[in-house]
Structure 1
Amino acid sequence: MKRFLNGTELDFNKPRPSDPRQLLQDGRVLPATPSWLDSQNPSLTHTSIVLFFSSPICGTTIMRLFSFPSTASSRWSSMSIWIGAIRLETIAELARRKGHKEVLTSVEDLRKSIVMDHPESLSKFIHRFGLYLPVIAGDKEAIRRVAYELVQDKAREGVVYLEVRYSPQLLATADVEPKSWGLPRGDLDPNGVVEAVSKGLREGAAEFSVITRSILCCMRHRPAWSPEVLRLCVRHGGVLDIEHENVPTNETSSLEQPMVVGMDLAGDESLVTVAGSGHIQAFQEARRMGIHRTVHAGEAGPASVVREAVTKLKAERIGHGYHLLEDLELYHLLLQQQIHFEMCPWSSYITGAYVGDFNKHPLIRFLADGASVSLNTDDPLILGSTLETDYCLARRHMSCTDENFIAMNMAAASASFLPRAEKDALMESLRNAYGLTST
């Protein structure tokens, strides 16, 4: 069957180029449809499970499980950031209703201003958030809505588990200094932001049968915010007991499922390569309390940022980590420690984090060396990409096989921040789905 993109027939028999731009037509990525991927490899089945990890305010990181025999509809499990996954239609509607002068009110105009279709820089990537977050920040109902809509959208894609990441302070207009986006003082504080997100996620989870959890993000350029992020993690998520199970704290209702499962450090590594003392103290205290930790490191910054993430911030997972290969001694040490790496090929190209042919992408080396690594997307809104974009890149240019995809997603499930009993259940369901033997 012939397939077309923007009126151009796609020829799947052509040699696979190492330059990802040759996957594009008129500046747009190939569409994210399972049938397109199936046409590339008939062995891919219609059932898949996906896990998302994400860049704290910079993106959605996605892991997908491929290829086990079933005729059921797609089932994905995801750990994702909702700030980078808001509907353009919702942004436009809110901007029109509020009469917001700084945010465009046309969906097409928003798409042209927000979506990146060629390589730039991490700083320019992060700048895009300021083009639409002002219509959401400080608005408790809007925040609840976009959290709910995220669960709905992921349910439509077949997602069964979702980890959502965001910075409470970046969405607050009260009890936070400095306030973001040039907004006037309001009445929504960071705690209210977490309540709004949790409410939207719970509503979406109940209605669409998607298990949801969230991760609260510290920001590299705001170390003074990190102690409060830690307090919010405890208040809304509880801590881990000696059996590594989430247990409610005095401030968490025992009648509600704790929503927050960890904390993250995000922001522009190219500008801030050394974590402030506020970050270090908060992350070390998080480790003492048993709160899970992930850090974006080695994306735009050098290997030294990864070293700091694991030695001083006590990270269990690393977002991106491409530049770790600049320090092979540290690289091999982290392989031995089974640190998990969340890699995002298309994002690495668009943000300039990786410059080179995809057939030499760091993901290939990590896989060859047996690293605990997952394949992800990063902010589908800003990147104009989908899950299929990264999987097609990995399949076409990195020679990834079904076995690679299965291994990456089993590693992703193992590295998830779910409580032990729920993680064990997820792992067992994946083993059954893939026909793997339990260990």
Structure 2
Amino acid sequence: MNRKDVAKRFPVKVELHVHLDGAVRTQTILDIGQKRGIKLPASTVDGLNKEIVISYGASLDTLLASFHIFAPVFAGDRDAVYTMAYEFCEDCARQGIVYAEVRYSPHLLANTFDKPAYARESGSFSPRDVVCTVNEALEKGSRDFNITVKSILACIRSSSEWSKEVASLCKEFRNSGVVGIDIAMSEFLSDQHPDECPHRQAFLTAKNDGIHRTTHAGEVGEPANVYEALDDYYAERIGHGYRSILDAKLYERIKREGIHFETCPISSLKTAGASSRTDHPILRFATDGANFSINTDDPTVLGNDLTDDYLMALEFGLTEKQIQTSIFNAAWSSFASDKEKQEIIKKLVEVYGEN
């Protein structure tokens, strides 16, 4: 089956794990870079893609390093962040995605720090301003392209000083499109007691405030990272989670509790989350009836879209029915309201029938 066939077989999609700053159009990076006078290593789409799209068998660190090439183009700039979020909605609609949850770190896109993470210089574009801007763009984009796009605010593991504010922003904007909290970047276990760890405190606050929780865990780290996600971060969904199968007790618990795996086939092979297409954890999830979905992760850096990931899943050995099930799983495991979930499911049933 080729890309065209896959697109026809799965015309309606749901996506739960995709990073906003990892889904910006390459042409948009070039356009904004030129407008802002920011020099990039190439001046064409093909040329820049050669610099930022990683190869199979690379690593998570390689993927993260690519962001330092292009993220300064839009970080700290309100118009650029708005454009990125608005175009994300259009790109989803073109792929047949009817509902998406896009995640990002407000702090990485802000510039109100002495040494901004990505922005070239300090300024007045705060994390709260970033959230307001993204919410505005996603609301208009959802309306203009007849889809629904919500957002998830991400804590950054190496910057625990931001996490309290992330939880606060989740609460403040819960009725304006923000549906959950996440923690991302390189995996490592906290060496602090749960009562003293800012990340864990932020997730406890989110839980008490009724904010949904997802965490990056078990992508390249050990099963211990997944235990931490469940026990200390109260995770309802796990971003990636492939290493869960290395611990039988953990894996059985996840299946029993219906914890959702946000899997990303192409990303897993490019970041060393998995080493083989023939014995991939996603095939195990599908065969065992685990709750999982299929997602893109970072299209800008991976050179993919959701159709590509469905095609890769078929290469792993998944059946068309299992991919259909993953789409329904995504709808049911989304952080949408009950009413919104019913509307999404209705659209899926119209195309695929009852699952």
- Global fold match (TM > 0.5): yes
- The one-character-per-residue Cα deviations of 1:369-400 (angstroms, maximum 9, x if unpaired) are 211011222211101122222222221332x2
Which residue pairs with 1:223 in the alignment?
Answer: 160
| 1:360 CA displacement | 0.6
- The one-character-per-residue Cα deviations of 1:170-214 (angstroms, maximum 9, x if unpaired) are 01011x465213622111000000111111112211211111211
Distance, in Å, in 1 between the alignment partners of 2:56 and 2:252 is: 33
Distance, in Å, in 1 between the alignment partners of 2:41 and 2:82 is: 20
Distance, in Å, in 2 between the alignment partners of 1:181 and 1:425 is: 38
Distance, in Å, in 2 between the alignment partners of 1:113 and 1:103 is: 7
1:153 aligns with 2:91: yes
1:103·1:132 contact (CA, 8 Å) conserved in 2? no
1:266 aligns with 2:204: no
- The one-character-per-residue Cα deviations of 1:151-177 (angstroms, maximum 9, x if unpaired) are 112222222222121100001011x46
- For 1:214, what is the secondary structure of its paired residue? strand
- For 2:164, what is the secondary structure of its paired residue? helix
Which residue pairs with 2:133 in the alignment?
Answer: 196
**Matched AA of 2:107:** Q
- For 2:122, what is the secondary structure of its paired residue? coil
Judging by fraction of residues, say which structure has more helix: 2
- For 1:206, what is the secondary structure of its paired residue? helix
| 1:278 CA displacement | 0.7
Which residue pairs with 1:339 in the alignment?
Answer: 259
1:213 aligns with 2:150: yes
- For 1:374, what is the secondary structure of its paired residue? strand
Which residue pairs with 1:311 in the alignment?
Answer: 231
Which residue pairs with 1:53 in the alignment?
Answer: 16
Pair 1:206–1:352, CA change in 2 (3 A): same
- For 1:237, what is the secondary structure of its paired residue? coil
How many correspondences in the alignment?
A: 351
Which residue pairs with 2:244 in the alignment?
Answer: 324
**Matched AA of 2:291:** S
1:377 aligns with 2:296: yes
1:93·1:105 contact (CA, 8 Å) conserved in 2? no
Distance, in Å, in 2 between the alignment partners of 1:168 and 1:199 is: 14
| 1:106 CA displacement | 3.2
Query: Bigger radius of gyration, 1 or 2?
Result: 1
Pair 1:92–1:421, CA change in 2 (3 A): same
Q: Structure 2 unaligned runs (5+)?
A: none
- For 1:335, what is the secondary structure of its paired residue? helix
Please identify runs of 4+ aligned residues in structure 1 that moved more than 4 A.
none
- For 2:23, what is the secondary structure of its paired residue? coil
Decide which moves more: 165-174 or 206-215: 206-215
List aligned pairs for 1:115-154, cutoff 5 A: 115-154=53-92
TM-score normalised by L of structure 2 = 0.93
Which residue pairs with 1:299 in the alignment?
Answer: 219
- Aligned counterpart for 1:360 among listed residues 279, 302, 305: 279
Distance, in Å, in 2 between the alignment partners of 1:153 and 1:194 is: 20
Distance, in Å, in 1 between the alignment partners of 2:340 and 2:305 is: 27
Identity across aligned pairs (percent)?
37
1:427 aligns with 2:345: yes
Decide which moves more: 386-395 or 317-326: 386-395
